[in-house]
Amino acid sequence: MRDRMWASVQAAQDEICAGLAALEGADFEQTSWERPGGGGGRSRLIQDGHVIEKGGVNVSAVHGELGQDAAKAMSARGVDTSDRRFFATGLSLVIHPVNPFAPTVHANYRYFELGAGNAPAAWWFGGGADLTPSYLFEEDAVHFHRVLKELCDRHDPAFHARFKAWCDDYFFVKHRGEARGLGGIFYDDLHDRPAPQLAALAEDGLRSFLPGYLPILERRKGTPYTEAQRIWQRIRRGRYVEFNLVWDRGTHFGLRTDARVESVLMSLPLNAMWVTGHEPESGSPEADIVAILKAPRDWV
């Protein structure tokens, strides 16, 4: 399973980057890194591009001994951490486009194992993808969610409702009382069926990324926009930063352990603004998206 998933996320990185690079008209820059404790990864980045303001597509496969804090957090969730050897592999991506009408997207699929590789003491899968626009286009939201529903339905007809609700619940900016974006799917700690079935779900999720997102980026990347719309985009990206730094468990955990800071914070946008007291005019497109973030919808 370790080898299978590491091969899958690497292949997905190649495929996803090729698709996005074709739209950008330029390649991602690659950085390979090694983890002192074991393993390493390959980060690919486009920054300050024509289409993508900041986009990172990272894969890693790391192993070693769980630290005190990590072991404690896992025990608290009921995981047997008597054997602290771990292995983790996954792909994580965030794309923040230049155009304020093109939505930010996030996806992450990962596999985690405790113990010896041949007979792991514990293992689980996590994953999902979600969309965060600054302006609402219903057809984009419907398309994105439809691709995710079809993906889920290929594996279990019960998955989509469960993972959609999990996503709405997880990506919630509590102090603002609003969702980070329009949701998608999210799951974690999944080990309630044979590992090969969950591996197939993750692999299908990775393959579904481009069909779900690329048509949207293609459609919106050339829309003319004003400076005021760029400012609104930056304000929304400030909210994205708030979620990731204040509420995201993965980021929180990464910043308190020996994770690679540049990878953990790759998700942050190139530009963000905090305009105190900013209130969108009632009835405006800016007010529309905020209203929807306060009351998540079913899109399919």
> Structure tokens of 237?
């990206």
Residue 268 binds a copy of itself (CB under 8 A): yes
Give least dist CB 97 to a copy of itself, A.
16
Residue 176 binds a copy of itself (CB under 8 A): yes
Contacts of 150 (CB under 8 A, 6+ apart): 208
* N-to-C CA span, the chain: 33
Contacts of 18 (CB under 8 A, 6+ apart): none
Q: Give 225 or 253: the residue with its C-beta nearer to a copy of itself.
A: 253
Stretch that binds a copy of itself, among 32-40, 73-81, 149-157, 172-180 (CB under 8 A): 172-180
Pick one of 265, 285, 290, 300: the residue that binds a copy of itself (CB under 8 A).
265
CA 257 vs CA 81, 133, 253, 264: distances in Å: 17, 31, 6, 11
Residue 294 binds a copy of itself (CB under 8 A): no
Pick one of 5, 17, 20, 45: the residue that binds a copy of itself (CB under 8 A).
45
Q: Where in the sequence numbering do the catalytic residues fall?
A: 106
Pick one of 175, 192, 224, 227: the residue that binds a copy of itself (CB under 8 A).
175
Q: Which amino acid is at 89?
A: T
Residue 10 binds a copy of itself (CB under 8 A): no
**Closest alpha carbon to 300 in 175, 164, 209, 198:** 164
Q: Which amino acid is at 244?
A: N
In the region spanning residues 50 to 89, those forming contacts with a copy of itself, defined by CB under 8 A, are 54, 56
Stretch that binds a copy of itself, among 11-19, 152-160, 194-202, 238-246 (CB under 8 A): 238-246
Give least dist CB 270 to a copy of itself, A.
6
> Structure tokens of 122?
């514990």
63: left (phi over 0), alpha (psi -120 to 50) or beta: beta
CA–CA separation, 192 vs 217, rounded Å? 35
Give least dist CB 245 to a copy of itself, A.
4
Neighbour tally for 138: CB within 10 Å: 11
# residues contacting a copy of itself (CB under 8 A) = 32
- Residues in contact with a copy of itself by the rule CB under 8 A: 31, 45, 47, 54, 56, 174-176, 234, 238, 241-242, 245-246, 252, 255-256, 261-262, 264-266, 268-277
